[in-house]
Amino acid sequence: MKIGILGGGQLGRMLIQEALKYDDQFHMLDPNEDCSCAHISVFTKGDFNKKQDVLDFGKDKDVVSIEIEHVNVEALEELEKQGVKVIPNSNIIKIIQQKILQKQFYDEYQIPSPEFQIILSKEEEIVIGFPFVQKLNTGGYDGKGVQIIKDENDFNNLWDEPSVLENLVDIDKELSLIIAKNERGEIKSFPVTEMVADPKLNLLDFNICPTQISDDVQNQIDVIAEKFMKAADSEGLFAIELFLDKNGKVWVNETAPRLHNSGHQSQEGNANSQFEQFYRVLKNLPLADTSAFGFSGMLNLVGEENFSGKVKYEGLENVLKLPNAYVHLYGKTETKPGRKMGHINVLADSREELLEQLINIKSLVKVVAE
Ligand code: ADP
């Protein structure tokens, strides 16, 4: 089967890595000839934001999917009309691409997400109370395009662009649920993961699984997941990013219609990974068992501040000597501050041991330039 993916980054790379054990051809479209997938797939250089590039790329594929959501949706709509299978469908990609449509979607389907106001420019009357979070309608990514407005004095910082203004949630935990649906209608989720964010310990890059949540919180998440999948009405693999507030209520932050950073530890931590699951969705195969083996965690390897150029991984050998650590590099030759270059998965018997190992590994390895 000819599988076409828009985007050739690390998510696509790990999908191919997992799916090599089966018999398919992966075709990747990316503007960068040296991207993570360029040398391990049937590669097409092109812009996934350009309609014609996507049409040309998609027309002879059995299925077209994405590993980044910022793609040309008009082209996907046309491919669907031509009878090409597009996963997830163009409609849900279009909704998720725009924060305003995404918020209205949650509202329409009574999926709890923080209270909000939409503005098209900063001249509009602001009725939402302080403090609030401003999120640009388009163009935001990895925390960019998101800012907190604390009070009136902060007003002049307001971006003059179409945005969602959203209540600031008093966050207890940031959680993520990865859930998949295939064409035969099977739905399966992974155990909920938690982003550990303790600024004192500088733990900002850790993701752990499973998280410790009450039955009530798990129930709220199950209800959200069910409503979301029903409303989205699409095959695919989705990452629903959630806030658990200090009163025990769960809110949807946002959803990614694709593989997600918060699911990387499933490569070694679960019976099957998010990549295996996504492959099965693309092929409409029975969905895989997602059970967790004990505790697992993930640490992103990001480019250090002040280093740009040909990448060098310092201290990696010390990590490779550890029994329960698994290194994944993304085949990117150039590092930049904050660029995601790889990750390390860790397995442990308890949450405490897991956090200890992650903190230890974080101190062992550095992504610098030669
Ligand atoms: P991105 O798509 O760039 O990752 P997010 O919408 O996930 O942006 O926001 C980035 C981070 O900002 C979140 O992980 C969370 O820590 C914080 N944040 C976003 N929205 C809110 C909110 N309504 N209340 C409190 N914190 C928020």
Question: What pLDDT does 203 receive?
Answer: 45
Q: Which atom of ligand 1 is nearest to the CA of 114?
A: 23
Averaged over successive runs of 10 residues, the pLDDT of the chain (370 residues) comes to 97 98 96 97 98 98 97 98 98 98 98 98 94 92 82 91 97 97 98 81 75 97 98 98 98 98 97 98 98 96 95 97 97 94 97 94 95
Rounded to 5, what percent of the chain is helix, strand, coil? 30, 30, 40
Q: Which atom of ligand 1 is nearest to the CA of 145?
A: 3
Joined together, the tokens standing for residue 117 give 């106001």
Could you give phi then psi for residue 95, rounded to 5 degrees? -65, -45
Question: What pLDDT does 143 receive?
Answer: 62
> Are the C-beta atoms of residues 287 and 277 closer than 8 Å to each other?
yes
3-state SS class at 363:
helix
Q: Cβ contacts of residue 312 below 8 Å, gap of 6+? A: 335, 367, 368, 369, 370
CA of 90 to the centre of ligand 1 (A): 25
Which protein residue's CA is at the shortest distance from atom 23 of ligand 1? 168
Instruction: List the beta bridge partners of residue 147.
Output: 134
Asked if residue 135 has its Cβ within 6 Å of ligand 1, the reply is yes
Which protein residue's CA is at the shortest distance from atom 13 of ligand 1? 143
Phi-psi region of 24 (alpha: psi -120 to 50; beta: other; left: phi over 0): beta
Q: Which atom of ligand 1 is nearest to the CA of 142?
A: 3
Asked if residue 69 has its Cβ within 6 Å of ligand 1, the reply is no
Taking each helix axis from N to C end, the angle separating 90-97 and 73-81, rounded to the nearest 10 degrees, works out to 170
> Are the C-beta atoms of residues 139 and 145 closer than 8 Å to each other?
yes
Asked if residue 185 has its Cβ within 6 Å of ligand 1, the reply is no
Asked if residue 174 has its Cβ within 6 Å of ligand 1, the reply is yes
Which protein residue's CA is at the shortest distance from atom 22 of ligand 1? 168
CA of 324 to the centre of ligand 1 (A): 31
Joined together, the tokens standing for residue 134 give 């401003």
d(CA 291, CA 167) in angstroms, rounded, equals 35
Residue type, 223: V
Task: Write the CATH number of the domain with boundaries 171-369.
Answer: 3.30.470.20
Asked if residue 264 has its Cβ within 6 Å of ligand 1, the reply is no
Instruction: List the beta bridge partners of residue 25.
Output: 2
**Sequential DSSP letters for 258-271:** S--GGGTTHHHHBS
CA 58 to chain CA mean position, Å: 23
Q: Which atom of ligand 1 is nearest to the CA of 241?
A: 7
Asked if residue 173 has its Cβ within 6 Å of ligand 1, the reply is no
Dihedral through CA 149, CA 151, CA 153, CA 159, nearest 10?
A: 20
Which protein residue's CA is at the shortest distance from atom 21 of ligand 1? 168
Q: Which residues of 253-286 are buried (b: 16+ CB within 10 A; e: fewer)?
A: bbbbbbbbbbbbbbbbbbebbbbbbbbbbbbebe
- Percentage of the chain exceeding pLDDT 90: 94
> Are the C-beta atoms of residues 225 and 179 closer than 8 Å to each other?
yes
d(CA 55, CA 44) in angstroms, rounded, equals 12
Give the global pTM. 0.96
Joined together, the tokens standing for residue 290 give 């997602």
Mutate which of 132, 134, 168, 253 for ligand 1 pocket (most atoms within 8 A of beta carbon): 253
Taking each helix axis from N to C end, the angle separating 90-97 and 99-108, rounded to the nearest 10 degrees, works out to 110
Asked if residue 197 has its Cβ within 6 Å of ligand 1, the reply is no
Q: Which atom of ligand 1 is nearest to the CA of 168?
A: 24
CA of 146 to the centre of ligand 1 (A): 7
Domain ranges of the chain: 2-86, 115-167, 171-369
| CA nearest to 297, candidates 190, 204, 195, 201 | 195
| CA nearest to 214, candidates 175, 165, 257 | 175
Q: Cβ contacts of residue 236 below 8 Å, gap of 6+? A: 65, 87, 88, 89, 92, 180, 181, 257, 258, 281
d(CA 162, CA 153) in angstroms, rounded, equals 21
Angle at alpha carbon of residue 158, lines to 152 and 164, rounded to 5°: 105
Asked if residue 242 has its Cβ within 6 Å of ligand 1, the reply is no
CATH: 3.30.70.940, 2.40.50.660, 3.40.50.20, 3.40.50.1110. Which one for 2-86?
Answer: 3.40.50.20
CA of 203 to the centre of ligand 1 (A): 17
CATH topology of domain 115-167: Dna Ligase; domain 1 (3.30.1490)
CA of 251 to the centre of ligand 1 (A): 12
Helix (H) or strand (E) run with residue 93 in it: helix 90-97
3-state SS class at 63:
strand
Asked if residue 146 has its Cβ within 6 Å of ligand 1, the reply is yes
